[in-house]
Amino acid sequence: MAELAHTVMSDAEGGAPRATPTVSVFIGLGANLGDREATLRAALAAIGRLPGTQLLRVSPLYGSAPVDAGGPDYLNAVAEATTTLAPEALLQALQSIEQAAGRERPYRNAPRTLDLDILWFGDCVMDTPALTVPHPRMAERAFVLRPLADLVPDRVAASALSGVADQSIQCIAKADWVDSPD
């Protein structure tokens, strides 16, 4: 799913410019602490300001109960963007946005002010200690699959949605929630 557009970058040695491909990415967003909707809006704005990154579309906003965790209900969405950042650089940038929103990681699946996950990074398949793409648990989570299906229905199988049908999720706002006033 890599795009044809390119951005001109210089190589690390300061030599001749080289083209960096623009890649389509899908990012899962979630929050279950604080002003969840305002936090998600701020995160989307921050994603759109990342170098070489353009926010294209955002799914409707969903409310969901935590999966494999406790705490208050989540607000969730998925954003589609393009970026010239490498997967690891995008991950680092997303983690910086989480930290700026007050994200703490006291234990696995702890309640959080903001959670940003790279779901798909073009056609990239990788599994490192820091990052696994495609996201390893997205097929187990309605709060990821439902918003993904809104954006790219041809990439989310009906059987996948059926597999998470027992998880509580409801549409809170249409895709224009990002542009609506607070």
Q: What is the DSSP track for 93-159? A: HHHHHHHHTT---SSTT---S-EEEEEEETT--EE-SS-EES-TTGGG-HHHHHHHHHH-GGGS-HH
Look at strands 169-173 and 2-10 and give their pairing.
unpaired
Number of C-beta neighbours around residue 109 at 10 A: 13
Catalytic residue among 35, 57, 108, 112: 112
Please name which of 39, 150, 149, 53 lies closest in space to residue 98, comparing C-alpha atoms.
Answer: 39
At 105, list the tokens.
Answer: 């990681």
Q: Is 112 a catalytic residue?
A: yes
* C-alpha torsion angle, residues 125, 129, 131, 136 (rounded to 10): 70
Note the residue count of the chain. 182
Catalytic residue among 115, 141, 146, 150: 115
Q: Is 36 a catalytic residue?
A: no
Catalytic residue among 36, 103, 141, 146: 103
At 168, list the tokens.
Answer: 């509580």
Q: Is 182 a catalytic residue?
A: no
Catalytic residue among 36, 117, 141, 146: 117
Q: Is 179 a catalytic residue?
A: no
Q: Which residues are catalytic?
A: 103, 112, 115, 117
